[in-house]
Amino acid sequence: MRHSLNDLDARRLLGGSPVALVSTSWHGAQNVMPAVFVTPLSIDPPLIGVAVHPARHTHDMIKYSEEFALNIPTRELLHHVQYLGSVSGTELSKLELTKLPTFRARRIEAPLLEGCVGWIECGVHDAYRVGDHTLFVGKVAAVQVEKDAFDETWLLTDPEERPLHYLGINRYAILGDTMEARIPQPADIKRDVEAGAAELIDEAEAAERREREEQEKDRKSRG
C-alpha cells in the first residue's frame, strides 16, 4: 500500500550511499565530519561535490583551507561515524577525543583516517550556495584504495572491507552480493530497435484497419 511522506523524506529515499568522513585541516587544527550529500560531478576534470551546511564547523574549514579529504569507512568505524556526526568540532577536537589514527595525505594537508578502504584528496574548485547548504566542488588531487576492497568497482568479497552505507537516522548497512547485468551487444540493440519498429508499424496498420472497418460500418448503416 502506498502512502505519502513529508517532502523532507525525499533525501532518505535516495539514501543508502557510502558515508564519507570529510577530514580537514586549517591553521594547525584538524576536524572530521560524516557526510552523505556527496556525489561525482564530472569525469574530465574529475570533480566531486560535497554539500555542507554553513552551521557545521567543517564548512568554514573547507572554505578557508580550500581543500578536504573524503575517507570511506567500513563497519569497523560504525559507532565512530555516528558519534562524529553528533558533536561539533567548534567545541572539541574530534580526532584527539576519539583517538582515531591518521596518516599523511599525498597532496593536501588534511589528515587521512585509518580504518577506511578508500581516500580521495580534493582541492576546492568552486563553491555554490544551494538552498540551505553550500556545495563545495572538489577537484580530485589524489586517490588511494585498499586493493582487496576495490578493483574498478567495490569487490565485496570480505565483509570487513565493504564500505559503510548510511540509511538515515542512526541506521547503516553494508552491501551484500554483487550481481552482473548482461551488457547489450550492438547486434542485440539493432535487433531490438528493428523489432520495436516492426511492432509499431503493425500497431499502426491495425489501427488503420479498425478505422476503415468503422467507416465501412457507418457507410452501410447510412445506406
Q: Name the pTM for this structure.
A: 0.82
- Is 147's pLDDT higher than 80? yes
Domain ranges of the chain: 7-174, 181-223
The number of residues in the chain equals 223
Tell me the C-alpha distance between 35 and 21, whole Å. Answer: 6
- Is 168's pLDDT higher than 80? yes
Average pLDDT over the chain, rounded to an integer: 89
- Is 5's pLDDT higher than 90? no
Instruction: Please tell me the predicted confidence (pLDDT) of residue 197.
Output: 67
The domain over range 7-174 is classified in CATH as 2.30.110.10:
yes
Tell me the C-alpha distance between 177 and 157, whole Å. Answer: 8
Are the C-beta atoms of 49 and 137 separated by less than 8 Å? yes
> Which of 14, 45, 60 has the alpha carbon at shortest distance from 137?
45
Instruction: Please tell me the predicted confidence (pLDDT) of residue 94.
Output: 87
Tell me the C-alpha distance between 84 and 71, whole Å. Answer: 13
pLDDT-based confidence at residue 97 (cuts at 50, 70, 90): confident
pLDDT-based confidence at residue 200 (cuts at 50, 70, 90): low
Instruction: Please tell me the predicted confidence (pLDDT) of residue 122.
Output: 98
Tell me the C-alpha distance between 180 and 155, whole Å. Answer: 12
Q: What is the 3-state secondary structure (H, E, C) of 65-79?
A: HCEEEEEEECHHHHH
- Is 213's pLDDT higher than 80? yes
% of the chain residues with pLDDT over 90: 63
